[in-house]
Amino acid sequence: MTDKLPILYSFRRCPYAMRARLGLTYARIRCELREVDLKNKPDQMTAISPKATVPVMHLPDGRVIEESYDIIKWALRQNDPDGWLSSIQQADNLVKENDGPFKLSLDNYKYTSPKQEYSPEFYRDKALGFLENLDQILGGTAFLSGQQQTLADIAIFPFIRQFAHVDKDWFFGLPYPHLQRWLNAQLDSDIFRSIMMKYTLWHT
């Protein structure tokens, strides 16, 4: 591995990969980023992670971290300048709901299929309970765990972004002003801009 840096297999637009890159950037963890073509996944990635989805992190000691949220937690254990781990319980609870019922509704809303039992709008509306909960939390604070950005924000934001981008006019017409304000702040943040630079496709 190059200079014994961790290797991160990533795809720029994947929300899970965004989550991992945000965590690594916050923790100031240098890594070798390998932008992959999801239609032509490199053998090096599938050899260490048979699930063959991004992100995957290959550590210099040989360990492999296959889940985006686990990559963030690993990064924070290396360096946590603003004490994000102190709010991990709330983050864990929100991520469990985000990665479970909300992500299922999001996928069925965004990636329509003739085999779906219900319309995209049905799945879109199923997600509203989670969005309403976030809006209520953000009614009293600037961010999901207080007045500063924390682990919960970077773990949840990429998925709310993906949901909103399916139909921006509809999303920003919802009666969730706090969530919309928060989303715009995340989109305009320096950390998000830094992780969304265009990466050259990695080849062996």
* Predicted local distance difference test score (pLDDT) of residue 103: 98
* Predicted local distance difference test score (pLDDT) of residue 2: 45
Alpha carbon distance 160, 131 (integer Å): 8
Contact 131, 139 (CB under 8 A): no
- Number of residues that this document lists for the chain: 204
Q: Is residue 129 predicted with pLDDT exceeding 70?
A: yes
Confidence band, pLDDT 50/70/90 cuts, at residue 3: low
Using DSSP bridges, classify how beta strands 7-10 and 56-58 pair: parallel, antiparallel or unpaired. antiparallel
* Predicted local distance difference test score (pLDDT) of residue 94: 97
**Residue pLDDT, tens place only, 32-56:** 999 999 999 999 999 999 999 999 9
Closest C-alpha among 129, 110, 128, 130 to residue 120? 110
Closest C-alpha among 195, 194, 203 to residue 18? 195
Alpha carbon distance 96, 105 (integer Å): 14
**Residue pLDDT, tens place only, 154-197:** 999 999 999 999 999 999 999 999 999 999 999 999 999 999 99
Alpha carbon distance 203, 65 (integer Å): 21
